[in-house]
Amino acid sequence: MRILLAHEQPLVRRGLRALLEAAPERPTVLEADDGRRALELIRAGEADVAVLDLQLAGISGVELARRLLDDHHARTALVLISPRWSASALQLALELNISGYSLLSDARADLLEAIHAAGRGDCFVSPLLHETMVEALRQREKSRPVTISPRQRDVLCLLAEGLRTKEIAAQLKLSAKTVEGYRETLMERLDIHSIAGLVRYALQQHLTAL
């Protein structure tokens, strides 16, 4: 297998080269210190797998992958490496069909597996990213604003102003039962289980002039 190491720091390239050359397969290892040179070697068909720094000088790893996406002559599998994870880069990597995304802090076995998986036509994501990615998605879901309908908003605002169910029903020209239904739906959607909690939420979201 022919592997291209594309990173602007010679120390990183030397470390990765030593890791690869110590493997039983003893692959052929090429090097590039910027994205333009890496792109030339890939388009010339010199590498089976290219290990690209996410912030590669000249042309970033992500931008290089984007340029190669529609290049049917480029048969090189791409692996992104980075000192730290980026949710946006990971999402782009998946969209651009990049074969692997690994952190430099990963265990040597994981870095090798990312490269070998790419060579086999498989996909590899750093084990450290699995946990971080799940936690980030969980936090994003928590912080995502909840969408409520205009009528639900009306009911919530009037609740926050201290009106009772019958008063809200009269003002909105609804039945008391319908208002109670809106209130229950709001509690379920907002994961709030008391009138006081709904009022507090309305105030925090500036849904009332109080």
| pLDDT band of 106, cuts 50, 70, 90 | confident
Asked if residue 138 belongs to a domain, the reply is no
Give Cβ neighbours of residue 32 (< 8 Å, ≥ 6 apart): 4, 5, 6, 38, 41
Q: What is the mean pLDDT of residues 60-89?
A: 78
Same domain, 100 and 199: no
Asked if residue 137 belongs to a domain, the reply is no
Same domain, 77 and 122: yes
pLDDT at 136 over 70: no
pLDDT of residue 118: 86
Asked if residue 140 belongs to a domain, the reply is no
Q: CATH number of the domain that 166 lies in?
A: 1.10.10.10
Q: What is the mean pLDDT of residues 3-16?
A: 91
Domain that holds residue 183: 150-204
The total of structural domains in the chain comes to 2
Same domain, 99 and 68: yes
Q: What percent of the chain has pLDDT over 90?
A: 26
Tokens linked to 106: 């990963």
Q: Are 95 and 80 in contact (CB under 8 A)?
A: no
Give the highest mean pLDDT range of 3-7, 100-104, 109-113: 3-7
pLDDT at 198 over 80: yes
pLDDT of residue 86: 65
pLDDT of residue 201: 84
pTM: 0.59
